[in-house]
């Protein structure tokens, strides 16, 4: 565990590279599966991925490996 600006940093791979946008579940139920798959793939190419960070208890931040690598690069 690292400390960054007084906050504990916990790395969790589950927060890595989540798509920024995906098809709504209710919309997906109404559409053919191939269409939903293609649309999700297009949105991934168009909008990319995000690396989430979660601040817990005010002194701990949990982030994915990709976000952590960016943080280490900025130091």
> What total number of domains does the chain contain?
2
Which of 31, 12, 23 is closest to 47 using CA atoms?
A: 23
Q: Are residues 28 and 43 in the same domain?
A: yes
The widest CA-to-CA distance across the chain, in whole angstroms, is 49
Q: Are residues 35 and 55 in the same domain?
A: no
Note if the pTM is more than 0.85.
no
- Paired strand residues for 36: none
Q: pLDDT tens across 42-55, in order?
A: 999 999 988 777 77
- Element (H or E) spanning 7, and its range? strand 7-11
Task: Grade residue 12 by pLDDT with cuts at 50, 70 and 90.
Answer: confident
Q: How far apart are the C-alpha atoms of 11 and 1, rounded to whole Å?
A: 8
Q: Tell me the average pLDDT of the chain.
A: 88
Q: For residue 11, what are the domain limits? A: 1-16+51-75
Q: How far apart are the C-alpha atoms of 35 and 31, rounded to whole Å?
A: 7
* Residue 75 pLDDT > 80: no
């Amino acid at each position: 565990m690292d400390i960054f600006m007084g906050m504990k940093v916990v790395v969790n791979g589950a927060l890595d590279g989540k798509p920024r946008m995906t098809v709504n579940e209710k919309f997906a139920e109404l559409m053919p599966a191939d269409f939903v798959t293609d649309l999700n793939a297009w949105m991934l190419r168009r909008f990319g991925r995000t690396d989430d960070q979660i601040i817990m208890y005010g002194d701990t931040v949990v982030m994915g490996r990709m976000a952590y690598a960016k943080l280490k690069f900025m130091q």
